């Protein structure tokens, strides 16, 4: 659409220049047309590369043909899912892994501390037959008491080592949570900024659309020239391009926010309304 509008504007400029109604401006308009054609070629190449990347992620050598089909630009979700920050951050794989290391280290400390205390073991069997001279009650084996006297120092050293490991795991967990919070806060700020930009451009484009319609009516009534109408159409298309770029940025910011929060996949995108 932009290319067609620029071609109309270039043609109008050349016509005005030929009859002496306007200074020659066809060269500049022709350059704009050539630049747009080159930009479209770059967009096609980028789209092809992205389709191939998606195919690679899906484990297939050939991209899905439907990915290249034309259609309206999808809209990102209105907002991420709400929830308690601690619950959302805990869903991150790095935070979960650090939390599990803390729990394991705490369990190891408990086991090491238990080794400091005497252990009473009831072993053997109690017979139900006739008693013997060595065991009148029919008890074979009997209880045993293990008291850590000579290796108590080694066991205390093991407890200290486990406590040091727990302190290290706690420090790593604290750092993981702080890093997750920093990334989530930054991603949320970026998402909010991208959302505000999309809303602002969507509102501004309505003014450009009204101006293009007004000049279209004036042109049909003979009250405006083709150049002015072509300029208005080109301005509207440029505004639509800026809005499309803002929607893309908002979508990427939404994905980054969900990733930073460790949340589930975003809901399906809606179809753009214009």
User: Residues 233, 154: one domain?
Assistant: yes
Q: Please give the average per-residue pLDDT across 157-173, as a whole number.
A: 89
Considering only residues 119 and 74, tell me which one the structure prediction assigns the higher pLDDT.
Answer: 74
Give the separation between CA 127 and CA 139, rounded to whole angstroms: 6
The model's pTM is: 0.63
Would you call 219 exposed, middle or buried from its count of C-beta atoms within 10 A (0-12, 13-18, 19+)?
middle
Question: Measured between alpha carbons, how far apart are the two ends of the chain, in Å?
Answer: 14
- Residue 138: its pLDDT value, please? 45
- Residue 59: its pLDDT value, please? 87
E-strand ranges in the chain read: 74-75, 119-126, 139-146, 270-271
Contact 60, 51 (CB under 8 A): no
- Residue 97: its pLDDT value, please? 92
Going by pLDDT thresholds of 50, 70 and 90, the confidence category of residue 255 is confident
Structurally, the chain folds into a number of domains equal to: 2
DSSP string, 28-74: HHHHHHHHHHHHHHHHHHHHHHHHHHHHHHTT-SS--GGGG---PPE
pLDDT at 129 over 80: no
Considering only residues 17 and 54, tell me which one the structure prediction assigns the higher pLDDT.
Answer: 54
User: Residues 93, 33: one domain?
Assistant: no
User: Residues 49, 148: one domain?
Assistant: no
User: Residues 217, 93: one domain?
Assistant: yes
pLDDT at 146 over 70: no
Q: Residue 262 falls within a domain, yes or no?
A: yes
User: Residues 98, 213: one domain?
Assistant: yes
Share of the chain above pLDDT 90, in %: 12
Give the separation between CA 194 and CA 241, rounded to whole angstroms: 15
pLDDT in tens, 33-59: 677 777 778 878 888 888 888 889 888
- Residue 190: its pLDDT value, please? 93
Going by pLDDT thresholds of 50, 70 and 90, the confidence category of residue 127 is very low
User: Residues 98, 63: one domain?
Assistant: no
User: Residues 102, 64: one domain?
Assistant: no
Q: Residue 75 falls within a domain, yes or no?
A: no
120 phi and psi angles, rounded to 5 deg: -105, 120
User: Residues 115, 24: one domain?
Assistant: no
In the chain, how long is the greatest CA-to-CA distance?
135
Centre a 10 Å sphere on the Cβ of residue 223 and count the other Cβ atoms it contains. 10
Q: Which domain holds residue 15?
A: 1-70
Helices 93-114 and 152-220 cross at an angle (nearest 10°) of: 170
Going by pLDDT thresholds of 50, 70 and 90, the confidence category of residue 137 is very low
Q: Residue 130 falls within a domain, yes or no?
A: no
Q: Residue 128 falls within a domain, yes or no?
A: no
User: Residues 87, 195: one domain?
Assistant: yes
Share of the chain above pLDDT 70, in %: 64
The SS3 call for residue 153 is helix
Q: Residue 219 falls within a domain, yes or no?
A: yes
146 phi and psi angles, rounded to 5 deg: -110, 115
Structure tokens at 105: 């280290």
In the block, tokens 């369990």 appear at: 107
Give the domain CATH number at 203.
Answer: 1.20.1600.10
The SS3 call for residue 111 is helix
User: Residues 232, 192: one domain?
Assistant: yes
- Residue 126: its pLDDT value, please? 43
Considering only residues 82 and 107, tell me which one the structure prediction assigns the higher pLDDT.
Answer: 107
Contact 77, 267 (CB under 8 A): yes
User: Residues 1, 88: one domain?
Assistant: no
User: Residues 37, 152: one domain?
Assistant: no
Q: Which of 70, 97, 113 is the last residue of a domain?
A: 70
Q: Which of 44, 70, 96 is the last residue of a domain?
A: 70
Going by pLDDT thresholds of 50, 70 and 90, the confidence category of residue 128 is very low
């Amino acid at each position: 659409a932009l290319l067609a509008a620029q071609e109309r504007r270039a043609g109008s400029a050349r016509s005005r220049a030929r009859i002496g109604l306007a200074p020659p401006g066809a060269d500049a308009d022709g350059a704009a047309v050539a630049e747009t054609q080159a930009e479209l070629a770059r967009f096609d190449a980028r789209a092809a590369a992205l389709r191939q990347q998606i195919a690679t992620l899906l484990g297939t050598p050939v991209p899905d043909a439907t990915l290249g089909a034309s259609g309206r630009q999808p809209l990102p979700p209105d907002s991420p899912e709400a929830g308690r920050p601690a619950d959302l951050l805990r869903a991150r794989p790095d935070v979960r892994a650090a939390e599990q290391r803390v729990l394991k280290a705490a369990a190891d400390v408990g086991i090491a501390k238990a080794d400091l205390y005497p252990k009473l073991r009831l072993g053997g069997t109690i017979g139900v037959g006739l008693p013997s001279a060595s065991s009148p009650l029919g008890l074979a084996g009997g209880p045993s008491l293990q008291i850590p006297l000579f290796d108590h120092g080694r066991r205390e050293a093991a407890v200290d080592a486990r406590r040091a490991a727990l302190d290290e795991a706690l420090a790593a967990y604290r750092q993981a949570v702080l890093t997750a919070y920093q990334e989530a806060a930054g991603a949320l700020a970026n998402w909010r900024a991208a959302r505000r930009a999309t809303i602002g451009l969507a509102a501004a484009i309505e003014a450009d659309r009204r101006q293009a319609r007004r000049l279209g009516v004036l042109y049909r009534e003979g009250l405006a020239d083709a150049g002015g109408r072509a300029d208005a159409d080109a301005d509207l298309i440029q505004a639509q391009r800026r809005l499309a770029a803002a929607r893309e940025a908002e979508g990427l910011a939404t994905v980054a926010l969900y990733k930073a929060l460790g949340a589930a996949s975003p809901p399906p995108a809606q179809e753009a309304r214009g």
